[in-house]
């Protein structure tokens, strides 16, 4: 299991988990204290995006080129890594929201966790580990801004994170992003762009 220890250290997993859980607790407490359902939804959505963004920076090691030369099966390791981020993002919030009372529908947490984790994996593939956080945060910001500007945001395929539960187009968009983002990252790995690493 030495390889697992080395992998966890090279991806800054302990620090990432601590930062992600701190964000979940802080934003969850704010959401719990809010009397507005819309504000709860926005804060929980931002918490999911924050976990995905924080964890995305660990999708690349210190030297992505070195990872590509190692004689190991990287697609399986990358897939497990992305799936673990999704489980962390969803699991932490599902556990937190039952401490007092449900903050939002669990379906929203699952949908947004899957979609934003896939977007984070795409960010790592396209931009590298140092900038991987930009893509989930940018998508979330645009979706939240759209929701604040219009009571019923249109274009469900683009604003899927803020769509109500049961919106088929939003669920499909999140599933496609989750699966395709994970598959692209598993096959190609992080970008060799190290400008922000």
Say how many domains are in the chain: 1
Spell out the residues 6+ positions from residue 56 whose beta carbon is closer than 8 angstroms to its own. Answer: 85, 120, 121, 123, 124, 129, 132, 133, 135, 136
- Is 169 inside a domain boundary? yes
User: Model's pTM, two decimal places?
Assistant: 0.86
CA 178 – CA 181 distance, rounded (Å): 5
- Is 194 inside a domain boundary? no
pLDDT tens, position by position, 13-71: 888 888 888 888 888 788 777 777 778 888 888 888 999 999 888 888 777 666 666 66
Q: What is the pLDDT of residue 197?
A: 42
- Is 81 inside a domain boundary? yes
- Is 193 inside a domain boundary? no
Residues 45, 27 contacting (CB under 8 angstroms): no
Single out the residue of 26, 171, 37, 181 nearest to residue 93, CA to CA.
Answer: 26
- Is 84 inside a domain boundary? yes
- Is 197 inside a domain boundary? no
CA 125 – CA 193 distance, rounded (Å): 10
Residue-number span of the structural domain to which 177 is assigned: 2-188
- Is 92 inside a domain boundary? yes
């Amino acid at each position: 299991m030495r390889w697992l220890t080395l992998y966890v250290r090279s991806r800054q997993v302990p620090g990432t988990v601590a930062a992600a859980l701190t964000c979940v607790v802080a934003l969850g407490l704010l959401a719990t204290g809010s009397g507005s359902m819309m504000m709860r939804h926005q804060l929980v959505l931002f918490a999911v995006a924050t976990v995905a963004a924080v964890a995305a920076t660990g999708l690349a090691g210190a030297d992505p080129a070195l990872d590509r030369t190692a004689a190991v099966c990287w697609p399986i390791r990358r897939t497990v890594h992305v799936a673990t981020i999704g489980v962390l993002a969803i699991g932490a919030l599902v556990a937190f929201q039952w401490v007092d009372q449900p903050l939002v529908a669990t379906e929203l947490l699952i949908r947004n966790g899957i979609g934003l984790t896939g977007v984070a994996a795409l960010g790592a593939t396209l931009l590298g580990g140092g900038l991987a956080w930009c893509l989930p945060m940018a998508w979330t910001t645009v979706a939240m801004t759209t929701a604040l500007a219009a009571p019923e945001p249109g274009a469900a395929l683009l604003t899927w994170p803020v769509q109500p539960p049961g919106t088929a187009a939003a669920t499909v968009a999140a599933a496609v992003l989750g699966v395709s983002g994970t598959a692209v990252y598993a096959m190609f790995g992080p970008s060799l762009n190290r400008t922000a690493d």
